[in-house]
Amino acid sequence: MDTAAGPSDPGRPRPPDSGEPGGTDASGRSRDALYAAIETDGQRLAIGLIRLVHAMSDRTELNPTDVQCYLLLKVGGPQSPGEIADGLRLASGSVTGVIDRLVDRGLARRERPDEDRRRVLVHLNDERPADRVPSPGMRDAMTAVHAHYTEAELAVIADWLGRVGPALDGVASAMRPQ
């Protein structure tokens, strides 16, 4: 992992809490120890998110892939079936089934944009709150987690999340067979 935080003079001594490579944070953990903690906790987060998708699936009687598609559309907005296939790494035939199930449940609809009637976009039907895929307790749980952070710390977390998503997308794209 590239740990460069910007220009640095190799001859300049680093303060112990500088956060620069080889330094330590305010708690005394080195940058390497912090990276290891981020990696482990990131993996725990991934497992927790997988468990949450499965819990949402159980609650809604949708399969986990259907819930993932719903969430992809919720976060990414209307998408073509090809974009959904790419986003979920599914075959086009599988995506058709996923979209059919969301449409049949009234959670999504297919629309043809006026500018290109050959194209199909899948939209969520959020106008009916009862049809949304529930995640009970999520807002309260996240509010409790974030309660002790300052606005500046929350801004750093939001910035990190905004950067890590595209980084993970890039890693996933690079892992595709050629």
What's the pLDDT at 14? 39
Query: E strand or H helix at 93, and its extent?
Result: helix 92-104
Say if residue 90's pLDDT is above 80.
yes
Residues 80 and 150 grouped into a single domain: no
Residues 75 and 127 grouped into a single domain: yes
Residues 145 and 62 grouped into a single domain: no
Q: Report the predicted TM-score, pTM, of the whole model to 2 decimal places.
A: 0.74
In sequence order, what E strands does the chain have? 108-111, 121-124
Q: What is the average per-residue pLDDT within 91-96? A: 91
Residue 60 lies in a domain: yes
Q: Which domain holds residue 102?
A: 31-133
Q: How far apart are CA 170 and CA 88, in angstroms?
A: 14
pLDDT (tens digit, 9 = 90+) per residue, 28-66? 889 999 999 999 999 999 999 999 999 989 888 899 999
Helices then strands, counting H and E runs in the chain, come out as 6, 2
Q: What is the average per-residue pLDDT within 63-81? A: 94
Percent of the chain residues past pLDDT 90, beyond the cut: 55
Q: What is the DSSP code string of 61-74?
A: T--HHHHHHHHHHH
CB distance 76 to 66 below 8 Å? no
What's the pLDDT at 134? 64
CATH number at residue 67: 1.10.10.10
What's the pLDDT at 23? 60
Length of the chain: 178
